Amino acid sequence: MIGAEFETVLAGARNGDEDAFARLWRDLNPPLLRYLSLGGDTADEVAAETWLTVVRGLNTFTGDELGWRAWVFTTARRRAVDAARRRGREARLRWHASSWVATVHDCADDVIDTLSTQEAVALVRRLPPLQAEVVLLRVVAGLPVSEVADVLGRTPGAVRVAAHRGLHALADLVDPAGVTPAEAAALRE
């Protein structure tokens, strides 16, 4: 997040300041890539297309930084859907269903503390699509529920439920043995 300077930076980018634009790019490209890697190998390509669209629409955007992020991620999602369409039904299935799981190795044996970003995203990809998207938009993009709902075209309630279930599922993935209720209660005391 850029924070208080966001307005200035955005205005600079609008006026053609390359440094300001670079700052916007550096701020959002990493989360964009992480989110877009839900779709597999096309993340870089789709992110580049997203930025082209963002550059074209730079002057039409109005809003604060949260609105900016929501707008960029909405754009990214559209480009991802386009890319999936281009790649045909197989790719679309990969985007929507969990066939990508095949590429994910089992993290159970890994030392969880040294989990890399890529591995974490790979874990998220094992979730059902909506949950995966919601989790990434919430955690990676840092969007509030209402913005995530806008990006995904869902109700805030549905987003909340998906986030809740997704996090539970993720916790199960990370620690398949799970924590028994008794242990949890013990941990709480």
Binding site for another protein (CB under 8 A): 13, 16, 18, 21-22, 25-26, 29-30, 33-34, 44, 47-48, 51-52, 54-56, 58, 112-113, 115-117, 119-121, 123-124, 136, 138-140, 142, 145, 157, 160-161, 163-164, 167-168, 170-171, 174-175, 179, 181, 183-185, 187-188
Give the residue with the Cβ less far from another protein, 18 or 106. 18
Tokens of 139: 């955690």
Give the residue with the Cβ less far from another protein, 90 or 142. 142
* Minimum CB distance to another protein, residue 180 (Å): 9
Give the residue with the Cβ less far from another protein, 84 or 132. 132
Instruction: Provide the 8-state DSSP code for 115.
Output: -
* Minimum CB distance to another protein, residue 62 (Å): 18
* Minimum CB distance to another protein, residue 4 (Å): 20
* Minimum CB distance to another protein, residue 42 (Å): 14
Looking up tokens 């989110």 gives 35
* Minimum CB distance to another protein, residue 89 (Å): 28
Give the residue with the Cβ less far from another protein, 18 or 109. 18
Tokens of 160: 């909340």
Candidates 119, 146, 144, 122; CA nearest to 132 is: 122
Give the residue with the Cβ less far from another protein, 62 or 89. 62
At residue 74, φ and ψ (nearest 5 deg) are -60, -45
Give the residue with the Cβ less far from another protein, 8 or 117. 117
- Give the other-Cβ count within 10 Å of 34's Cβ: 20
* Minimum CB distance to another protein, residue 90 (Å): 26
CA angle (142, 115, 90) in 5-degree steps: 70
Cα 68 to Cα 79: distance, rounded to the nearest angstrom: 16
Amino acid letter at 107?
A: C
Contacts 24+ apart (CB under 8 A), 143-146: 143/66, 143/69, 143/70, 143/73, 144/66
